[in-house]
Chain A
Amino acid sequence: MKLDVAIVGGGIAGGTLARQLRRRIPTLDIGVFERGTDPDFKVGESTVEIASVYLARRLGLSTYLYEHHLPKNGLRFFFDDADRGTAIEDMSEIGTDGLPFHPSFQLDRARLDADLRRMNAEDGVLVGTGTRVTKIQPGDATRPHRLELVTQAGTQTVQARWLVDASGRARVLSKALGLPRVDVGHDLCAAWGRFRDVVDIDCVGTRAWRDRVRGTSRFLSTNHFCYPGYWIWFIPIGEGLVSVGMVCERAHWREDLRRSEGLLAFLRQHRGPATLLERATSIDTMSRANVSYGTTRFFSRDRWACVGEAAAFTDPFYSPGSDFIALENDMVTDLVARDHGGAGVGDLDERIELYDAFMRLRLDANLALYRGLYPVLGSFELLSLKWMFDIHCYYNLWLHAYLLEQHLDLAWLREQVRLREPTLGMLDNFGRLFRTLEHELRTRGDYHRGNHGRFVPALTGVDLVEEVGRARARKQVLRATGACCNRVRAQAKALAHGGPGAPAVEPMPLFAYMSERALLD
């Protein structure tokens, strides 16, 4: 059997890629080879703006998403006391009080994976389930890749011009080629499961508490209960089920979290989550160590690519997993389409190298948001400042570029890659700033000081929502970044000062934020 594209893995990454390729080039011969037979519960329900745009617009799934999955009401963060005894309505909160301008969704992953397989098969994609890839003989630009597939019916060999690893953490091709970056300096563990009879968060608390978000549904948010070193999520996935899990630095990990009783007991040690889980029953429990890892390559001139978790995974805190899939799949689709359309080898290779360099930058920039920063999570004052910086960067830099499809534009990509060191330098500087502040607040006994009764709308500080996705000069984008840096630094200095009468803070030029320095001096 000869294919244009062979995709190993039929989860969300492989399923969406096959659909996207098929929509772009209806005559393409595509095979998706999935080890499992029936899709089962998978984590990764929460999507954010880039992924939602990808699913709705690029894949034409708007109606489908509204019909079969839940609309999402943004990310939401709650803060507790050191004794973990704060009632939900007394917790400080970062969250929306109105739907974000791009709708996003809470995906029922088992359903999505199954539906994508069905839709792809109906569209003429070869979808093989119960299919194990037992041998890979990588090809290159001139020789096809060869795969040995084993099903119940027997063994067969497939040749493909393009080979895409979408096999999730199995990383079939990635491991065969020695690509994984195991140590990314961020060591997380996680445990989670589906629960039935979880109390609806919109039915607890006082009238005033519900009024605070103008009656919008907190239930539909990705709700984070934040603690120093770990956090707990509540995500609705429809049909009466809620996904609940915890993510922690390894120091907080205990092996009994791998069992449903252990996980439930741990969750119930926190008054807020305990209220929601009062009558809950566990359906299933899963767990994972080594949550975060990277890759040394996403795309190769030898006509292979790694997408989704087959390439890398950073941290679930801001739900970035499907954003990565959106970027990677757009790039793979573009490369395959150009190759199919007869693009010259030189042109294609240049594009492959730039796409790859950009994704490695994107990965490292995303890791920098979390590495060493889990101790910051449990303080409302710290996280609201960090969130203000992070969400501004997300809207101003990443979402904006995605909406304008700049991630497929060579000139824009060259610019990003050229600014790799300054960009990562800036993120590292702010990481250090937040860690320094955390130490300061802890030393003063002020870490939990703001954790009661306060509310910050999620897009506070994103003063450019109306400009995102409209053409803006590059300088405008960078000036907005500089202004955000100055704002966050000024507030950080006030927080470090600790009381009224904080000295005025002189704004600094953007480059000053990008060279290694202590921002609080």
Chain B
Amino acid sequence: VKQVEIHAAVREMLAETFELDPDRITLEARLYEDLELDSIDALDMVVKLQEFIHRRVAEEELRGLRTVEDVVQMVRAARQPNEEAG
């Protein structure tokens, strides 16, 4: 799966969940500063993300998610475990 496609899917998920303008959801966009998500949004994002990648997201992992690209990388790693290892 290409990064572009995952980015598109993540953008759609974030835009829909938080009623954001999709254009703001660039790879570089910071979740809390640029997209203005708060701690309750983080909870909703994790729940959505878990549905996306079919596994639990631990609290430390959530703390590691700072930008849209971080989210994209997490989804990518979940979908292509071999690629991550390589």
- What is the interface of chain A, defined by CB distance below 8 A to chain B? 418-419, 421-422, 475, 478-479, 482, 509-512, 514-515, 517
User: Which of A419, A479, A517 meets B47, CB within 8 Å?
Assistant: A419
Q: B48 → chain A, closest Cβ, in Å?
A: 9
The residues of A that contact B38 with a CB separation of less than 8 Å are 475
B77 within 8 A of A: no
The residues of A that contact B82 with a CB separation of less than 8 Å are none
Closest 8 CB pairs of A and B: A509-B39, A515-B59, A511-B43, A478-B40, A475-B40, A512-B59, A511-B42, A510-B43
| Further contacts, 15 of them, CB under 8 A, given A478-B40, A511-B39, A515-B62 | A419-B43, A422-B43, A478-B43, A479-B40, A482-B39, A509-B39, A510-B39, A510-B40, A510-B43, A511-B42, A511-B46, A511-B59, A514-B43, A515-B56, A517-B59
A-B contacts, 26 of them at CB < 8 A, read A418-B47, A419-B43, A419-B47, A421-B56, A422-B43, A422-B46, A475-B38, A475-B40, A478-B40, A478-B43, A479-B40, A482-B40, A509-B39, A509-B43, A510-B39, A510-B40, A511-B39, A511-B43, A511-B46, A511-B59, A511-B62, A512-B59, A514-B43, A515-B58, A515-B59, A517-B59
The residues of A that contact B39 with a CB separation of less than 8 Å are 482, 509-511
Interface SS, B side: helix
Which residue on A lies nearest to B47, using beta carbons? Answer: A418
The residues of B that contact A479 with a CB separation of less than 8 Å are 40
Which residue on A lies nearest to B59, using beta carbons? Answer: A515
Q: CA separation between A422 and B42, bound complex, in Å?
A: 12
The residues of A that contact B59 with a CB separation of less than 8 Å are 511-512, 515, 517
Which residue on A lies nearest to B38, using beta carbons? Answer: A475
Q: A288 → chain B, closest Cβ, in Å?
A: 38
Q: CA separation between A511 and B42, bound complex, in Å?
A: 7
Q: CA separation between A515 and B47, bound complex, in Å?
A: 11
The residues of B that contact A418 with a CB separation of less than 8 Å are 47
The residues of A that contact B62 with a CB separation of less than 8 Å are 511, 515
Within 8 A of A (CB), among B16-40: 38-40
Q: A395 → chain B, closest Cβ, in Å?
A: 19
